[in-house]
Amino acid sequence: MPADPRQTLPAHPVAAGASPTTEPVAVRVALIVVALAFLALFLVLPLVAVFAEAFRNGVDAYFASFDDPDTWSAVWLTLGVAAIAVPLNVVFGLAASWAVAKHDFRGKSLLVTLIDLPFSVSPVVSGMCYVLLFGAQGYFGHYLQSVGVQIIFAVPGLVLATIFVTFPFVARELIPLMQEQGVSEEEAALSLGAGGWRTFWSVTLPNVRWALLYGVLLCNARAMGEFGAVSVVSGHLRGQTNTVPLQVEILYNDYNFVAAFAVASLLAGLGLVTLVVKSALEWRYADQLASGRRH
Amino acid sequence: MDLKIRDVRKEYGSFPALNGVSLDIRSGELVALLGPSGSGKTTLLRAIAGLEIPDSGQILFGDEDALAKPVQERNVGFVFQHYALFRHMKVFDNIAFGLRVRGRARRPAEADIRRKVLELLDLVQLKGLENRYPAQLSGGQRQRVALARALAIEPQVLLLDEPFGALDAQVRKELRRWLREIHNETGHTTVFVTHDQEEALELADRVAILHKGDLQQVGTPDAIYDEPATPFVYAFIGDSSSLPIDVRSGEATLDGRALPLGRVDAPDGPARLHVRPQDVTFVAPGEGVALGRIAALRRLGAFRRADVEVGARRSRIEVRLPPEASFSEGEEVGLAFERFAVFPAEGAPSVACAA
């Protein structure tokens, strides 16, 4: 093997054996340190702080903070709101992505833009919109009062606000995947005699099942953790319209730090579980997730 | 099952995909729809299947109006260009799908479905692969599964969209022969779409050539090749050259000089003379119908090709010569045409020499 000509040129800036796309060691180390420090400071540290504060007065104090009936009602309310909002958004998301990905119609790009609207609008603004529409002084306030339906400062308002904020998650996960898959499998099913409903259940849905689960996961995490929109429409009635994030705020404002962080640790735990399941899905079914390729 | 297509029209926006196409396909026949992309051949195939709704016209299966039925009820076996196998189902379930989705009254028992699927797997030579997923198969195998799936419903008509388009040349050749055998065995009325003339001529009983939504010619491979009905077919099928000529009361002239072709059956005015490379022979200068000069001489495998310039405008004609022919570039030669065709210039393709 001939001698590497670079070795005879000591002043050459590229070290022998280095590939042109590799940075010098010092740069690599510096970049990694910066990235890790950033992660530690902004992600790991707060997470550790949540648990540290929650357990500051010992394990007993941690569990004692869950003796509060208001906290339990907040947990049940959050689960309830998510149990309504997530399935509805699955249906809406499937319908929207089916329409967008498998059909051509006028106003399609407008629909796609609208689906993304909740991502671009501040959740507080969306909460305000619901108050404006359904509140006592709102456009439909008088009518709703006359039929005895309360939406704002009640559970329906929480559900509406949560649906609005979490609407894009399922649809955004499904649309690119469905578009990529095209319609030929559906056409094949139809040509073999299957009806539309059968085609949906045995061809369309199974082809997007993992992406759907992925979307549901993200949708659920957001539904349970949503603060801004929910805060506006909730009215903060203790034991009635406080979801878990709102309960955390109330406890914190009451200087009940251990309880506030204990309840917050539930949300942090939910976040961690979501992250693990999400990563597992991405690892196992990357080829069947649109985002697996997007990232 | 006879298939009758009557004056079928289809427009996408203002773009006419099918311009009133009529075509009769006899029971048990294997017909190729051949044309370049954008010719409307796939649109016609999808209209037969019910995947496109024509704007007007009639499609009859036997004497039954197929357009009155949705795709599910037409009982057509459709093989898609990229197979469209159900990716989350095993090969077995893919093939069984069409039987399982039938209404209770017409659905065979699961044991019968099983027997039928295994029979079909045997027919398409994929025995033992019933538990694979489509992703675990090669292109040729997927193609066979797609065919088995389409045959499972005992279709009245078998429709194939570019059946070999996505396969490499070797597999394509093999599958072509195999598809012909399957057709001979099962006898389904079959229509397939292709842009590959070799495939169409080799495989089909009759070839229908489409161009820009118009049916140009329907005929046996011999008729299509030997008696092209339109300038497009002449240029599209096989190699050919074309010369710009003028016709006056049956007499042809090339750039003002008489071209003694005998009586030409074309209206007065500009016209184009089409001729295939193997139908031109060299004779002594001064003999034959025209005088030419060899502009280029190339060896192409089994033969030699000469480009000959004729007339004042130096129009080029391609000539096929035996490899031992001893001519040289720049030499003057006489040209004789054994077989040719003259079409009025209007509507003639600007590039007459097909690749």
β-sheet bridge partners, residue B40: none
- Residue-wise pLDDT for B143-156, tens only, equals 999 999 999 999 99
Asked if A106 has any chain B CB less than 8 Å from its own CB, the reply is: no
Choose between A3 and B333: higher pLDDT: B333
CB B215 within 8 A of CB B21: yes
If we measure between CA atoms, which residue out of B273, B265, B267, B305 comes closest to residue B290? Answer: B273
Query: What CATH number is associated with residue B312?
Result: 2.40.50.140
Specify the pLDDT at position A1: 44
The reply to whether B351 falls in a domain is: no
Choose between B35 and A145: higher pLDDT: B35
Minimum-distance CB partner of A198 among B76, B77, B101? B101
The reply to whether B350 falls in a domain is: no
Specify the pLDDT at position A16: 56
- Given B198, B228, B258, which residue is the final one in a domain? B228
- Given B171, B198, B228, which residue is the final one in a domain? B228
Sign of CA dihedral B12, B16, B19, B24: negative
> Does B86 sit within 8 Å of A188, measured CB to CB?
yes
Specify whether B156 is located in the same domain as B34: yes
Specify whether B144 is located in the same domain as B174: yes
Residues B160, B158: Cα–Cα separation, whole Å? 7
Mutation for testing the B interface, residue in A178, A187, A192 having most B CBs under 10 Å: A192
> Does A203 sit within 8 Å of B86, measured CB to CB?
yes
The reply to whether B355 falls in a domain is: no
Mean pLDDT of the region B246-254:
87
Mean pLDDT of the region B290-303:
90
- CATH for A58-294? 1.10.3720.10
Distance from the Cα of A180 to chain B's closest Cα (Å) equals: 13
If we measure between CA atoms, which residue out of B36, B43, B42, B35 comes closest to residue B12? Answer: B43
DSSP letter for each residue of B95-120: HHHHHHTS-TTTPPPHHHHHHHHHHH
Specify the pLDDT at position B248: 87
Strand pairing report for B189-194 and B30-34: parallel
The reply to whether B49 falls in a domain is: yes
Residues B51, B84: Cα–Cα separation, whole Å? 14
Specify whether B10 is located in the same domain as B141: yes
- pTM for the predicted model, two decimal places: 0.81
The reply to whether B354 falls in a domain is: no
- Given B228, B249, B283, which residue is the final one in a domain? B228
Specify whether B171 is located in the same domain as B318: no
In single-letter form, the type of residue at position B203 comes to L
DSSP letter for each residue of B128-163: T-TT--GGGS-HHHHHHHHHHHHHHT--SEEEEEST
Minimum-distance CB partner of A184 among B74, B82, B153? B82
Specify the pLDDT at position B354: 32
Q: Chain A contacts of B71, Cβ < 8 Å?
A: 187, 190-191
Distance from the Cα of B13 to chain A's closest Cα (Å) equals: 13
The reply to whether B237 falls in a domain is: yes
Torsions phi, psi for A186 (to 5 deg): -65, -40
**Residue of chain A whose alpha carbon sits nearest to that of B85:** A185
How far is residue B152 from each of residues A289, B118, B121, B123, measured CA to CA in Å?
Answer: 32, 10, 10, 11
Distance from the Cα of B181 to chain A's closest Cα (Å) equals: 23
> Does B75 sit within 8 Å of A193, measured CB to CB?
yes
If we measure between CA atoms, which residue out of A169, A264, A171 comes closest to residue A217? Answer: A169
Chain B residues within 8 angstroms (CB to CB) of chain A: 49-51, 71-78, 80-82, 84-88, 97-98, 101-102, 149-150, 152-153
If we measure between CA atoms, which residue out of A222, A246, A214 comes closest to residue A167? Answer: A222
**Residues 177-236 (A) with a CB less than 8 A from some CB of B:** 184-185, 187-195, 198, 202-203, 206-207, 209
> Does B76 sit within 8 Å of A191, measured CB to CB?
yes
Neighbours of B260 (CB within 10 A): 10
> Does A190 sit within 8 Å of B97, measured CB to CB?
no
Specify the pLDDT at position B170: 84
Tell me the count of A-B CB pairs closer than 8 A: 64
- Residue-wise pLDDT for B101-148, tens only, equals 998 899 999 999 999 999 999 999 999 999 999 999 999 999 999 999
Does residue B168 have a pLDDT over 60?
Answer: yes
Distance from the Cα of B280 to chain A's closest Cα (Å) equals: 47
- For each of chain A's 295 residues, which pLDDT tens digit applies? 444 544 555 555 555 556 777 788 889 999 999 999 999 999 899 999 999 999 988 899 899 888 889 999 999 999 999 999 999 999 999 999 999 998 888 999 999 999 999 989 999 998 998 999 898 888 888 888 888 888 888 899 999 999 999 999 999 999 999 999 999 999 999 999 999 999 999 999 999 999 999 999 999 999 999 999 999 998 888 888 899 999 999 999 999 888 999 999 999 999 899 989 988 888 888 777 765 444 3
> Does A202 sit within 8 Å of B72, measured CB to CB?
no
> Does B72 sit within 8 Å of A193, measured CB to CB?
yes
Does residue B348 have a pLDDT over 70?
Answer: no
> Does B102 sit within 8 Å of A191, measured CB to CB?
no
Specify whether B133 is located in the same domain as B271: no
Domain count, chain B: 2
Q: Chain B contacts of A206, Cβ < 8 Å?
A: 88
In single-letter form, the type of residue at position B272 comes to R
Domain that holds residue B238: 232-344
User: Whole-angstrom distance between the N-terminal and C-terminal Cα of chain A?
Assistant: 42
Specify whether B195 is located in the same domain as B242: no
The reply to whether B353 falls in a domain is: no
If we measure between CA atoms, which residue out of B233, B232, B221, B218 comes closest to residue B24? Answer: B218
Residues B56, B7: Cα–Cα separation, whole Å? 7
As given in the structure block, the two tokens for residue A234 are 């909730």
> Does B80 sit within 8 Å of A189, measured CB to CB?
no
Domain ranges (residues) in chain A: 20-54, 58-294
* Sequence-separated contacts (24+) of B301-306 with Cβ below 8 Å: B305/B277
Specify whether B217 is located in the same domain as B256: no
Specify whether B65 is located in the same domain as B187: yes
Residues B4, B33: Cα–Cα separation, whole Å? 14
> Does B101 sit within 8 Å of A193, measured CB to CB?
yes
Query: What CATH number is associated with residue B73?
Result: 3.40.50.300
> Does A194 sit within 8 Å of B97, measured CB to CB?
yes
